[in-house]
Amino acid sequence: MIIKALIDDDNAVSDIVGFMLIMSIMIASLAMITLYAHPILDKSKDDIYFSNMEQSFTLLHSDTSDITSGRSTIKTRDLNIANAHMNFDPDSTMISISIGGPPIVYFAGSIEYDIKDRKVCLENGALLSSYGTGSIVISEPFIYTYENTTVINVVQLDGPAFSIGGEGIVRITQQKNFTESLVYNNSQNVKITINSQYASGWAHYLKEQGFTNISTTSDNVTATINTKPRIYGTSIKISSEKVLPVNPPVNSLSAVITTPSPTINNFTHINVTINNTGDQDFIQVNVRLDCFSNHIWNMTPSVPYIVDIPAGSSNTTYWKVSTNVSNNEALFTVTVNGSLRNSSLINPPQYQTRSNQISITN
């Protein structure tokens, strides 16, 4: 009878059922966090890594420009690859230039950084970026038209191919090999063909420089122009070295645009606060105000603001903006980049962030 009574007793059932329900809710919550939150966090980190590398490639492009223009014969730059992939292919980006005869053919080569579906690339003196659906020119190549003359400077990157992944600092050295030129004093029909996965970006840029009859595929662009051509060729030797692993200070720099002040003497003040929430000092922090509008806005100062920001401190500055066009709306944002004070690297990697965006209507 006692055993039967124990079997028929339901006193502990509710406790067991409650425990199982709580465990089920906890497991379901963890599964939801793993399924939805982790991809968002990973994407945020990838966006920061890509933004930093985009800025570093801007400096790499500046080094190429110095060598091509003759201001320097050798440049060294340290780049933080940060959980992604970087490669150099000297046989990529074939460029063909025809001027009434057999074409002049170069393999310009390219240095490319990619993380997921986003890429930034240095090829033929241009800095281009791809976001999966197309490409744009970030820093212009040495191809431009003024009056009735077009200058085409082909930049050939030469050297052993390399492919590097993971984390660490990659040291890129560019050294001038040779230059050559071909100048015409009379107008000629010039046809240029560029084989590149960034063909859409090249097509848009060539159109801005007066080229016509533009034909584009996913990896090829062809365009023509009637002009007095000046063709220059610069060969640059590329070498690389993986220096050391490094963990970048993620999210240690931030920028915030506060609400702009009322218009004073036809100027609107845009106040910006730059915060260094990390444990390392930043030097030569470059703070640039960017404007997006269909009309011209005047910004004072017109050059980027540069300041050192110690760890745990902040700095506040402002711009005065104005326009002569009534009911003119503009979007403003601030781009901030800087490097660490205590770095043993030849060229400390640049870290970049962008502020919130505000709208102002005149």
Q: Which of 120-129, 149-158, 335-344 has the lowest mean pLDDT?
A: 335-344
Task: Please answer whether residues 272 and 309 qualify as being in contact, where contact means their C-beta atoms are separated by less than 8 angstroms.
Answer: no
pTM: 0.59
Neighbours of 351 (CB within 10 A): 26
Task: Convert the pLDDT of each residue in 49-107 to its tens digit.
Answer: 777 778 888 888 989 998 988 888 888 888 877 777 888 999 899 999 999 888 888 89
CA distance 276 to 284: 13
C-alpha angle with apex 11: 9 to 12, nearest 5 degrees? 110
266: left (phi over 0), alpha (psi -120 to 50) or beta: left
Cα→Cα distances 290→273, 294, 310, 316, Å: 15, 13, 25, 17
DSSP 23-59: HHHHHHHHHHIIIIIHHHHHHHHHHHHHHHHHHHHHH
Strand arrangement, sheet containing 84-89: 135-139, 126-130, 118-123, 110-115, 84-89, 162-166
Q: What is the pLDDT of residue 18?
A: 67
Question: Is the pLDDT at 345 greater than 60, yes or no?
Answer: no
Task: Please answer whether residues 98 and 190 qualify as being in contact, where contact means their C-beta atoms are separated by less than 8 angstroms.
Answer: yes
Task: Convert the pLDDT of each residue in 199-209 to its tens digit.
Answer: 999 999 999 99
- Please name the CATH architecture into which domain 253-361 falls: Sandwich (2.60)
Question: Is the pLDDT at 254 greater than 80, yes or no?
Answer: no
Polymer length in residues for the chain: 362
CA distance 344 to 82: 18
Question: Is the pLDDT at 217 greater than 80, yes or no?
Answer: yes
CA distance 216 to 44: 33
CATH 2.60.40.10 range(s) for the chain read 253-361
Residue partners of 147: CB distance under 8 A and separation at least 6: none
